[in-house]
Amino acid sequence: MITGINSDVRYGNCVYHVQTQDLGVERCILESLVYVGGQVLDTVLGSYKDVDPAASQAIRKRLIIQHRAVIASVNGGKYTDPAVALPATASVPLERPDLVVTEIEECLVGDRSSLMFVLRSETSFQPIAGAQIELFYPPNADPANCIYSATTDRRGFHLAEFRIPYVTSPEPCLLVRATAPAGEVESRLRVVPPADGSYRSESSEASSAYHASMAGETGRERERPSLVVLELDKLQAGGTASFLFLLQEEGSQRPIAEASLRVRLRGVGAVDQTLYEGSTDAKGFHVAQFSIPSTGGSKASLLIQATCDLGMAEVISPLTG
């Protein structure tokens, strides 16, 4: 049986839960359920009798296609039709934004830094797209101190690559601010001063070299892959896992696209069980959501592997419960 997929989709003022699962090779049926507030609004059934029951990858692909098609129907407004009565409790207010900041590279004054942002609603964890991300150094919201500004993508993500200028600051930290329709959220990150303690002025040659390296103009050799794994929800056996993966070259931190990703359950039974497979996008990102079976009290973990033409990177995440 193929592992199912669960997604929460916001459309208008409603949060819809879409669940797609394999009902087993005996029936060869994929079932998608659409919920609001615990009430089933629709059931979509798809057959895979034309697929070899042993071809798990083909069945998994069919399941993903069906799941995405149901999500598209939600985003297309299908369930706001008068023929589909929504419960009175379906309407939800805008939620405050919640910002997760991950350091890909340490924030060093005068050097290249990389931060990954995930912006979601505080309770339903829906991605917040088009929100403004601003970095200030020194850490006050004076527009003159803004060293970086951008917006989150449709999944609420943004990968920032920037350089902290050689400026003295009474407080050695970086102010991060995200602005969304429901409000603002701020975070502060420690900044490491220059090793020699000097805040020298930056030459135009150094600035040009930096921008050339960021643009990939230095003729460098490619490096081994480095995998960053961010758990978006608590990792627990018998629950649903949500991960953000970022695959980059180890030294230059350049994204690696079209890399294969695989998540395996280890420590339950003699053979590792594959729970999820996918691939990175053009920016080296991938978001995964999948179910974790019960481990029966066994000490288990998830083995996460990323494979590309530069080699393989692995991360092990222990399970609780």
All domains in the chain, ordered by first residue: 5-89 (no CATH), 97-214 (2.60.40.1930), 225-318 (2.60.40.10)
pLDDT for 177 equals 94
Closest-CA residue to 114 (of 129, 127, 133, 101): 101
Spatial contact of 165 and 110, defined as CB atoms under 8 Å apart: yes
The rounded distance, in Å, linking the Cα atoms of 62 and 69 is 11
pLDDT tens, N- to C-terminus, the chain (321 residues): 566 788 888 777 788 888 888 888 888 888 898 888 777 888 888 888 888 878 888 888 888 888 888 888 888 788 875 445 444 444 445 678 888 887 777 788 887 788 888 888 877 677 888 899 999 998 888 888 899 999 988 778 888 888 888 877 788 899 999 998 888 999 898 888 876 555 444 444 444 444 444 444 445 566 888 888 877 666 777 888 888 888 888 877 788 989 999 999 988 877 888 999 999 888 788 888 888 888 877 788 899 999 999 899 998 888 876
Which amino acid is it at 22?
D
pLDDT for 223 equals 80
Strands 112-121 and 97-105: antiparallel
Enter the pTM of the model.
0.48
pLDDT for 4 equals 75
The rounded distance, in Å, linking the Cα atoms of 111 and 253 is 13
pLDDT for 205 equals 44
Residues 6+ apart with CB under 8 A from 279: 258, 259, 260, 261, 286
Phi, psi (rounded to 5 degrees) for 144: -65, -20
pLDDT for 253 equals 72
Tally of CB atoms within 10 A around 64:
16
Query: For residue 138, is the peptide bond before it cis, meaning its omega torsion is within 30 degrees of 0?
Result: yes
The rounded distance, in Å, linking the Cα atoms of 265 and 318 is 10
pLDDT for 211 equals 46
pLDDT for 312 equals 92
Class of residue 218 by CB neighbours under 10 A (exposed 0-12, middle 13-18, buried 19+): exposed
